[in-house]
């Protein structure tokens, strides 16, 4: 469907042409003075220079050509040369009726849509999922849904940190505690047990203990390093233990991501890229793009247009070890081979931006991607506590994601029960949905790059710019619709009140909000839109007697309008990654 601004612009452009001026001056924008008009065209001002005429004269000429135009109920030429426009109610209604019946509300799919890999989550195996990874999960999931909405095939890849020293640390610590395990017996020849010799709680205690020990105990640090190398060389015992660590961690991660309504199409990790490294390095050598710098093999990525230094990307250290960047490059190779994406998006902490700049440049230099494949890092800022420092537990430790989710749920459940929003079996479901909306909206309403302060009182409030407020608006509409009866087929009719018209005008702005969110990978554009839309919906609700309306035809129109509003709000929050409850 054509966007409404384009439709109006075409009409005004035609009027410019009919009055003898260049049609290009007919570009219309949403009014910045909603008290005066709904749309405006300022083209008469630049046209005045070109045609050596007073702008108001041009505006008058154009307005005269629009008197018969059925799309407008009002066209006013105003000094010095503005064209102020109001839409005809019937035109607005027929536009929204198309919106109502079109697939995806008439929002056009991306004509260049293809396969998009979204690298988000990024959890590190054996370490508990902590709030540092929360934003990646929330923002990444939303971006994935937005990419899919615009017609792309999407693959969310959790890209686990499953191959580093943390694995060696856990294995070394296990060896100290339980040397009798068959995994440490070099003469063991049988089948390793199917059951892991530890639980997730054990792992969560083992990793921090081992990590702390390695910092003070050199022999232990060396042992952990040794196990890391042996694991990477595929020695059966360490490898079998690693498999257990993976299985136990991944099951736990799936549970936690599940509570966030975050899911992944691919559960790959750094370990899955390792087999691509030897060939990749060989090709790079053959292409002559590797240089030696202080014993390491590097790719120079500095470009002439750079205003600051971009250091070379190190792909192999002098001892032959490969690095985080090597793994990311190999992962690109793996992704191109497996999915051949036209776009790879990385939703990772913005402090890694230099790393990604180096990796992307290296990938292009090495020809790992097609020239047109887009590589983009969506760097996000930090979630801070009220003290403005990175969010911590009350005792100052790193907050586990699970703990945070439980705390938010407890907070919201108390509110739900206190206000008797729902009872009995509905309490848990409603609580979980409100809590998730509070958490996700509180995050997504900020541009990803911005740091923000986690403030549960504010995020969970039912009024103001919050997730619960948006849910509340939807639930209220749902309850009217439920009391009315079948509403799905009712057509949109011309607005009769200013509140109805404002709501309808807001509904026509959906495509702009979604396109902005898509183009800029900015879910915050959708938050801004739903907040605006919810405001107009609530105003309409307050000013209109919907269920009490005696005139049946009028009532049908009201119901159709809130029905479309509900569907659009629901689509938007689905793109943000949460859902409204039935009651609240
Ligand atoms: N595991 C990494 C970390 O915790 C994040 C991984 C991000 N993705 C990537 N392709 N490098 O910092």
Give pLDDT, residue 402.
87
**200 prior amide bond cis, ω within 30:** no
C-alpha–C-alpha distance, residues 245 and 168, integer Å: 11
Which of 121, 125, 161, 272 is the pocket-test mutation for ligand 1 (most atoms within 8 Å of CB)? Answer: 161
Q: Could you give the strand order of the β-sheet that contains 153-157, starting from the edge strand earlier in sequence?
A: 153-157, 115-119, 343-349, 374-380
Closest C-alpha among 356, 378, 391, 389 to residue 134: 391
Q: Which atom of ligand 1 lies closest to the CA of 160? A: 1
Burial class of residue 309 in the structure, from the number of CB atoms within 10 Å of its CB (0-12 exposed, 13-18 middle, 19+ buried):
exposed
* Residue entry with tokens 């257990």: 244
Chain centroid to CA 46: how far? 39
- Report whether 189 contacts 149 (CB < 8 A): no
C-alpha–C-alpha distance, residues 76 and 8, integer Å: 15
Closest C-alpha among 498, 2, 24 to residue 12: 24
Give pLDDT, residue 416.
95
Question: For residue 293, what are the CA distances in angstroms to 175, 278, 301, 360?
Answer: 38, 20, 13, 20
- Ligand 1 atom 11 nearest Cα: 328
- Ligand 1 atom 5 nearest Cα: 122
- Ligand 1 atom 12 nearest Cα: 122
Find the 523 Cα to ligand 1 centroid distance in Å: 21
CATH top-level class of 4-87? alpha beta
Find the 28 Cα to ligand 1 centroid distance in Å: 44
Find the 297 Cα to ligand 1 centroid distance in Å: 22
Find the 161 Cα to ligand 1 centroid distance in Å: 6
In sequence order, the β-bridge partners of residue 377 are 346
From its phi and psi, is residue 84 left (phi > 0), alpha (psi between -120 and 50) or beta?
Answer: beta
Give pLDDT, residue 164.
84
Which of 120, 123, 159, 268 is the pocket-test mutation for ligand 1 (most atoms within 8 Å of CB)? Answer: 159
- Report whether 62 contacts 44 (CB < 8 A): yes
- Start-to-end Cα distance in the chain: 35
In sequence order, the β-bridge partners of residue 346 are 119, 377
Structure tokens at 441: 């909206």
Find the 165 Cα to ligand 1 centroid distance in Å: 14
Which of 119, 120, 121, 122 is the pocket-test mutation for ligand 1 (most atoms within 8 Å of CB)? Answer: 122
C-alpha–C-alpha distance, residues 433 and 584, integer Å: 10
Q: Which atom of ligand 1 lies closest to the CA of 124? A: 1
Find the 324 Cα to ligand 1 centroid distance in Å: 9
Residue ranges per structural domain of the chain: 4-87, 165-259
Give pLDDT, residue 499.
97
Positive/negative CA dihedral, 345, 349, 355, 358: positive
- Report whether 151 contacts 113 (CB < 8 A): yes
Q: In this structure, what DSSP letter does residue 52 have? A: T
Find the 123 Cα to ligand 1 centroid distance in Å: 7
In sequence order, the β-bridge partners of residue 78 are 82
Give pLDDT, residue 399.
82
Find the 120 Cα to ligand 1 centroid distance in Å: 8
Q: Residue 433, SS3?
A: helix
C-alpha–C-alpha distance, residues 154 and 145, integer Å: 8
C-alpha angle 325/326/329, rounded to 5°? 85
Find the 158 Cα to ligand 1 centroid distance in Å: 9
Q: Which atom of ligand 1 lies closest to the CA of 349? A: 12
- Ligand 1 atom 8 nearest Cα: 122
Q: Which atom of ligand 1 lies closest to the CA of 331? A: 10
Phi, psi of 278 (to 5 degrees): -55, -50
- Ligand 1 atom 6 nearest Cα: 122
C-alpha–C-alpha distance, residues 288 and 236, integer Å: 36
Structure tokens at 289: 């793009």
C-alpha angle 107/464/441, rounded to 5°? 55
Give pLDDT, residue 397.
76
Which of 267, 348, 350 is the pocket-test mutation for ligand 1 (most atoms within 8 Å of CB)? Answer: 348
C-alpha–C-alpha distance, residues 136 and 458, integer Å: 22
Find the 481 Cα to ligand 1 centroid distance in Å: 45
- Report whether 574 contacts 470 (CB < 8 A): no
Find the 331 Cα to ligand 1 centroid distance in Å: 12
Structure tokens at 181: 């395990």
| Helix ranges restricted to H, 217-268 | 218-232, 236-259
C-alpha–C-alpha distance, residues 348 and 271, integer Å: 18
Pocket of ligand 1 (CB under 6 A): 119, 122, 124, 159, 161, 328, 346, 348
- Ligand 1 atom 3 nearest Cα: 122
C-alpha–C-alpha distance, residues 143 and 138, integer Å: 9
C-alpha–C-alpha distance, residues 425 and 65, integer Å: 63
Q: Which atom of ligand 1 lies closest to the CA of 161? A: 1
- Ligand 1 atom 2 nearest Cα: 122
Find the 319 Cα to ligand 1 centroid distance in Å: 23
Give pLDDT, residue 226.
95
Give pLDDT, residue 270.
96
The helix (run of H) or strand (run of E) holding residue 484 is helix 467-484
Closest C-alpha among 224, 217, 340, 338 to residue 275: 338
Give pLDDT, residue 233.
87
| Number of helices (H), then strands (E), in the chain | 21, 13
Find the 311 Cα to ligand 1 centroid distance in Å: 20
Q: Which atom of ligand 1 lies closest to the CA of 356? A: 11
Per-residue pLDDT of the chain (584 residues; tens, 9 = 90+): 999 999 999 999 999 999 999 999 999 999 988 899 999 999 999 999 999 999 999 999 999 999 999 999 999 999 999 999 999 999 999 999 999 999 999 999 999 999 999 999 999 998 778 888 899 999 999 999 999 999 999 999 999 999 888 999 999 999 999 999 999 999 999 999 999 999 988 998 999 999 999 999 999 999 999 999 999 888 999 999 999 999 999 999 999 999 999 999 999 999 999 999 999 999 999 999 999 999 999 999 999 999 999 999 999 999 888 999 999 999 999 999 999 999 999 999 999 999 999 999 999 999 999 999 999 999 999 999 999 988 887 777 778 888 899 999 999 999 999 998 999 999 999 999 999 999 999 999 999 999 999 999 999 999 999 999 999 999 999 999 999 999 999 999 999 999 999 999 999 999 999 999 999 999 999 999 999 999 999 999 999 999 999 999 999 999 999 999 999 999 999 999 999 999 99
- Report whether 61 contacts 20 (CB < 8 A): yes
Find the 390 Cα to ligand 1 centroid distance in Å: 18
Q: Could you give the strand order of the β-sheet that contains 82-87, starting from the edge strand earlier in sequence?
A: 28-30, 39-41, 82-87, 72-78
Structure tokens at 340: 């051949």
């Amino acid at each position: 469907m054509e966007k409404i601004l384009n439709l109006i612009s075409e009409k005004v452009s035609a009027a410019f042409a009919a009055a003898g001026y260049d049609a290009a001056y007919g570009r219309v924008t949403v009014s910045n003075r909603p008290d005066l008009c709904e749309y405006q065209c300022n083209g008469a001002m630049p046209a005045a220079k070109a045609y050596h005429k007073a702008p108001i004269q041009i505006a008058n000429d154009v307005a005269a050509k629009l008197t018969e135009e059925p799309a407008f109920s009002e066209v006013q030429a105003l000094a010095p040369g503005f064209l102020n426009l109001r839409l005809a109610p019937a035109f607005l209604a027929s536009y929204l009726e198309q919106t109502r019946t079109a697939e995806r509300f008439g929002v056009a799919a991306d004509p260049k849509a293809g396969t998009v890999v979204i690298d988000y989550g990024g959890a590190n195996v054996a370490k508990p999922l902590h709030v540092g990874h929360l934003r990646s999960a929330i923002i990444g999931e939303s971006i994935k849904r937005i990419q899919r909405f615009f017609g792309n095939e999407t693959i969310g890849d959790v890209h686990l940190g499953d191959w580093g020293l943390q694995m060696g640390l856990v294995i070394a610590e296990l060896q100290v505690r339980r040397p009798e395990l068959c995994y440490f017996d070099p003469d063991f020849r049988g089948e390793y047990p199917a059951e892991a010799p530890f639980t997730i709680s054990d792992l969560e205690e083992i990793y921090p203990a081992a990590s702390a020990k390695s910092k003070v105990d050199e022999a232990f640090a060396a042992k952990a390093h040794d196990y890391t190398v042996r694991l990477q060389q595929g020695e059966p015992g360490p490898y079998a233990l690693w498999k257990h660590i993976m299985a136990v961690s991944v099951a736990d991660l799936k549970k936690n991501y599940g509570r966030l309504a975050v899911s992944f199409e691919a559960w790959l990790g750094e370990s899955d890229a390792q087999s691509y490294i030897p060939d990749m390095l060989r090709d790079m050598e053959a292409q002559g793009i590797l240089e030696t710098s202080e014993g390491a093999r590097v790719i120079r990525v500095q470009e002439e247009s750079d205003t600051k230094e971009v250091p070379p990307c190190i792909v192999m250290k002098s001892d032959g070890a490969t690095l985080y960047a090597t793994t990311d490059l190999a992962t690109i190779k793996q992704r191109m081979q497996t999915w051949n994406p036209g776009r790879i998006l990385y939703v990772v902490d913005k402090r890694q931006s230099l790393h990604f700049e180096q990796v992307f440049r290296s990938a292009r230099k090495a020809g790992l991607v097609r020239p047109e494949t887009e590589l983009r890092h969506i760097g996000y800022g930090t979630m801070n506590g009220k003290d403005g420092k990175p969010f911590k537990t009350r005792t100052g430790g790193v907050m586990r994601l699970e703990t945070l989710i439980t705390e938010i749920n407890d907070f919201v459940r108390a509110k739900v029960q206190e206000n008797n929003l729902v009872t009995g079996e509905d309490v848990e479901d409603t609580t979980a949905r409100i809590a998730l909306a509070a958490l996700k909206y509180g995050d997504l309403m900020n541009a990803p790059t911005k740091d923000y302060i986690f403030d549960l009182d504010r995020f969970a409030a039912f009024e103001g710019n919050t997730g619960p407020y948006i849910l509340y608006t939807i639930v209220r509409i749902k309850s009217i619709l439920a009391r009315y009866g079948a509403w799905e087929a009712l057509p949109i009719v011309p607005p009769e009140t200013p509140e109805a018209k404002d709501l309808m005008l807001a509904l026509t702005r959906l495509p702009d909000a979604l396109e902005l969110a898509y183009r800029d990978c900015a879910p915050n554009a959708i938050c801004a839109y739903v907040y605006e839309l919810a405001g107009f919906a609530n105003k309409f609700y307050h000013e209109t007697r919907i269920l009490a309306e005696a005139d049946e035809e009028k009532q049908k129109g009201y119901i159709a309008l809130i029905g479309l509003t509900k569907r659009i709000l629901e689509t938007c929050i689905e793109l943000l990654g949460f859902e409204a409850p039935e009651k609240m």
